[in-house]
Amino acid sequence: MIELSLEFLLAMIALLLIVLSGFMLYIFYQRQREVSFNKSRDHYLKDYSLLWYDYFFNNEIFSVVLIPRGKPQVKAIEIIFSSYLKNISNEEMTRKMKDFSNLYLKQFYEKDLMSKRWSIRMNALYRIADLQLDELLDACRKLEDTNYSKEEFFQLLKIYSIFQPELFMQKIKVPNANYAESEYRRLFVLLEEDVFIQFFDDFTSWPASIQFAVIDTAGAKRNMKYIDKLEHLLMNDDDEIKIRALKGLFEIGVIENIDPYIPFVTSDLWEVRLMIGKIFKYVPLAYTFPYLKQLLQDENWWVRNQAAKTIAEDRDGIEKLQEFISYSTDAYALEMAQEIITRKQGSR
Partner 1 sequence: MIFLHYAMLFFGGVIVFYMLFVIVSYCTMFAIAMLDLRKRYRLDPSEYDDAHIDAFYSKPVSLLVPAYNEEIGVVDTVYSLLNLRYPQTEIIIINDGSTDRTLETVIKHFQMKPVNKIVRTNIPTKEVRQIYESEIYMNCILVDKVNGGKADALNVGINVSQYPYFCSIDGDSILDEKALLRVMKPIVLSDGEVIAAGGNIRIANGAKMQLGSIYDMQLPNNYLVIMQVIEYLRAFLMGRIALSKFNLVLIISGAFSVFSKKWAVEAGGYATNIIGEDMELVVNIHRLIKEKKAKKRIEFVPDPVCWTEAPHTLGVLRNQRRRWHQGMFESLWKHKKMTLNPRYGLIGLVSFPYFWLVECLGPIVELGGYIYIVIAFFLGQIYYEIAILLLLLFVIYGVIFSVASVLFEAWSMNTYPRKRDLIRMVLLALTEIFWYRPLTLLWRCEGLIRFLRKKSEWGNMKRVGIAEKEKSV
Q: How far, rounded to the nearest angstrom, does the alpha carbon of residue 251 sit from its chain's CA centroid?
A: 16
Give the whole-angstrom CA distance, residue 88 versus residue 92.
11
Count the neighbouring beta carbons within 10 Å of the beta carbon of residue 277: 28
- Residue placing its CB nearer to partner 1 in the complex, 17 or 235: 17
Closer residue to partner 1 in complex, CB, 13/50:
13
Number of other residues whose CB lies within 10 A of the CB of residue 341: 19
Report d(CA 99, CA 55) in Å as an integer: 13
Which CB atom, from 50 or from 150, has the smaller least distance to partner 1?
A: 150
Smallest distance, partner 1 to C-beta of residue 17, A = 7
Helix (H) or strand (E) holding 147, with range, is none
Can you give the binding site for partner 1, defined by CB under 8 A? 2-3, 5-6, 9-10, 12-13, 16-17, 20, 23-24, 26-28, 30-31, 82, 86, 117-120, 122-123, 126, 180-183, 185-186, 189, 209, 216, 220, 301, 335-336, 339, 342-343, 346
Q: Which residue lies nearer to partner 1 by CB, 45 or 120? A: 120
Q: At what angle do helices 331-347 and 301-313 cross, to 10 degrees?
A: 40
In angstroms, what is the minimal distance from the CB of 342 to partner 1? 5
Quickly list H helices, 106-164.
106-113, 118-130, 137-143, 150-163
Residue from 157, 244, 234, 235 nearest 209 by CA: 244
Strands (E), the chain: none
Residue type, 41: R
Sequence letter at residue 108: F
Residue 210: CB atoms within 10 Å = 20
Least distance between partner 1 and beta carbon 304 (Å)? 10
Least Å from the CB of residue 190 to partner 1: 11
Cβ at position 116, least distance to partner 1 in Å: 12
Contact assessment for residue 219 and residue 250, using Cβ atoms and an 8 Å cutoff: yes
Indicate the helix (H) or strand (E) that contains 311.
helix 301-313
Q: Report the nearest approach of partner 1 to the CB of residue 271 (Å).
A: 12
Smallest distance, partner 1 to C-beta of residue 2, A: 5
